[in-house]
Chains A and B, each alone.
Chain A
């Protein structure tokens, strides 16, 4: 009997943990998109007003905490590669983002460091608008689905435990 109880608790706990993991995935996406929004605003200012070179921009943002900082740190290690290739290569750091979010950033990388200042600023602002809309969507999904994942995973665990007893 105690073995059964331990087994049931283990099943329920693991299912609940899975739900928490899924909900944290949604919350993490919101945090990363918020960081990207701030980074793009600052990047726009750096390009427009101080005409900072791209490599120095990478150095500034590599000091950011979390995944975005790690992304820019890995960009610094790709010296010599073109912007698009290095961004594509290091998008693995952004595993919490959806495909459409990554696509916005990749599209930004296509124009970054090329052309005149105004075009680059326009590109950054366009990407920021996309990130803003993705952020709103992510917030909506997160508030709606995060609680649901946690509750459902617990109940799914209970159902599985009952079935196996």
Chain B
């Protein structure tokens, strides 16, 4: 796994939390929540291939 992925996820987390705070302060709670969910989905898409690799490794390891 590329270590850059971890840094990317961390950076996205920071920016999404900053956007979230800004939106909350201007009274847009719904949009803040949508932004958080969008960030989560983006991160999940990024780690999707890694999760697939993990399941494949487990399958190979246990001969499933």
A162–B12 alpha-carbon span in the complex (Å): 7
For the side of the interface on B, what is the size category?
Answer: 10 to 19
Is there an interface contact between B19 and A152, defined as CB atoms closer than 8 Å?
Answer: yes
A163 at the interface (CB under 8 A from B): yes
B15 touches A159 (CB 8 A): yes
Contacts of B15 in A (CB 8 A): 155-156, 158-159, 162
The count of residues in chain A whose C-beta lies closer than 8 Å to any C-beta of chain B is 12
CB of A165 within 8 Å of the partner chain = yes
Question: Which one of A156, A163, A165 lies within 8 Å of B19 (CB-CB)?
Answer: A156
Give the complex CA separation of A159 and B22 in angstroms: 15
Please, which residues of chain B bring their CB within 8 A of the CB of A165? 8
Give the segment of A43-51, A94-102, A106-114, A143-151 that binds chain B: A143-151
A58 to B19, CA, bound (A): 46
Within the complex, the shortest CB–CB distance from A74 to chain B, in Å, comes to 36
Identify the closest chain B residue to A157 (Cβ): B15
Instruction: Assess whether B8 is in contact with A152, with CB atoms less than 8 Å apart.
Output: no
Contact assessment for B26 and A159 in the assembled complex, using a CB-CB cutoff below 8 Å = no
Contacts of A156 in B (CB 8 A): 15, 19
Give the shortest distance, in Å, between A150 (CB) and chain B (any CB): 10
| 10 A-B pairs (CB sep. < 8 Å) | A144-B26, A151-B18, A152-B19, A152-B23, A155-B15, A159-B15, A159-B19, A162-B11, A163-B8, A165-B8
